[in-house]
Structure 1
Amino acid sequence: MAETFNPKSGSPDRVVRCFWHGPFSPYEALCLSSFVAAGIAVELFSEAPVAGLPAGVTRRDAREILDHEVAVYRHEFDGPSPSLHSNHFRYALLEKVGGWWIDTDVLLMAATLPATDIFVARQSDHELNGSALRFPPGHPLIGAARKRTAAVLEDARWGDTGPRLLTELQPEHAPDLSIAPRESAYAIGADEFQKFLLPEACEEVESRTADSTFVHLWNEMWRKAGVPKNIAPPKGSWLDRMFERHRIAVMWSDRLDADHVARWAALRRDRDHAGHYNLVHDRELARLRAELEARPGVRLSGFDRIISSLKRHFGSSRGR
């Protein structure tokens, strides 16, 4: 971790920080502009210059915080994702300097940031999410998350360093943590991400996010579904309304078709469902093989019978 970082933006109540890797789209510009519009400074860390940053966003060198090549998940079904590095980076930054962290797919809906020293919200009844966080420097939960992530970085699987990790570590390292309700940031869940883009869901999203501080757009779901981010949202959708509300001027080359969005979202669900059971199957076979090979006198013929049984079980599970 670099030791040269020196916060430049004054009060931690008026600055948010984030990380970016790859092509920057108008959707990220919309999200960051929502903070700028509220008078909040935005510092975006990246390993290279980023084209298309909106006014009011300062680009900073990511190596000020974490002198490490961008790490990507290598063991997922939908291709490599830099969200692994984003998780590692946020823990390193918050452990060192504290303050506010936001993902670049988070919109600020409130007039200002919550007046609190710590912020983390539930994404479901049983799981936390780290797309919008505030912690003081050196907090034990963030330190534990950074250490765990650094230890598994090269071999991390999807989910090992994100919400699942924060949820696992919180009871031990922050048992009295005050956790914001799901509605504060995740009123629309990951499996509903397409509602931001469907005109028929516009009023539903508006109603469900009316009292939200933040709205998470679930960029990873867009990536997995293959939704292009270089063309405009469908006319009449909630995101179309957000671009108009925040007066984000974009010269779009085309506009998304709502029917296509719905179809991509459905295909993404099917792929995730099949991929989940393939992964469970693979891990269970590896566990059983190691367990059986450790027992003296076990012959592979017995293992082969177990393999056949597992294939029948997991094969039928994928069809459910």
Structure 2
Amino acid sequence: MRDEWAVTADGLVKRFGDRRVVDGVDIRVPTGSIYGVLGPNGAGKTTTLRMLLGIIEPDAGRRTLLGFDAPRDASDRVGYLPEERGLYPGMKAREAIAFLGALRGLDLKTGRARAVTLMEGAGLGHAVDEKIRKLSKGMAQLVQLLGSVVHQPDLLVLDEPFSGLDPVNQERLEKLILVERDRGATVLFSTHIMSHAERLCDRLAIIAGGKRRFEGTVDDARGMLPQRVRYTPQRPDPAIAGILPADAVSDGAGWRFELPGEGIERLLVRLIDAGHGIAGLSIERPGLHEAFVRIVGEQEAQA
């Protein structure tokens, strides 16, 4: 039976000089899930991931990785894509993937065969024998990612994997993450791009200023903000403002306001009875970006 948690962290602290880059972070990553660590640049995301992997040691706190108290004991079961990309430019793509697999204990023959399959699945089959220096930045980044999964790890850790990718390669990367999750791997990735986290994550943590500000599902985060209503009357009439909630703001043809606590039905009846009618009505849930701004504050979110 697999452990309930693939990764745990309790009170992780890391100081660089007088600065606490990570300040008491707690994390629980469920086995078999996609888990995102979100935060603005400089929030402490990369340092947290490196402590979880055992690349650097925390100054305080405890962490486990795939059940091991010493993360490096699980290194052959982990795939890691660091924030700093790097491949040997003279290597062919297939050889680069097989080489990265060999560093995790995979034999080169198996690695080369899997490299071809992985590149074809990622839409890069035409570049199997191309040297890294001839690939675009996005393609080279995907090759390095394939090298982190070629040994079929139980845990895949990706640090800002979408950074620098064009939309086509971002979509390829999202598909690859889902394939790895469906294979049974746990995926842990950091990002400051909300849209990817919103589409992919089963759970997420939001870190800002070295502290964990939130942990839960995307719906949990979005649920911290009220839903908003967009209402369009059959014809413009300033008198509508007297019926709508006090926070209603006109956007020209229609109005926007928070969903009343008692629901929308009574308000609609009053609008219809007053002869304003309904030309359009939608109830919109706040996005993850809006929730992120509420959680970390406007100033840190802008950063």
- Give the TM-score, by structure 2 length: 0.27
Q: Which structure shows the higher helix fraction?
A: 1
Between structure 1 and structure 2, the one with the greater Rg is: 2
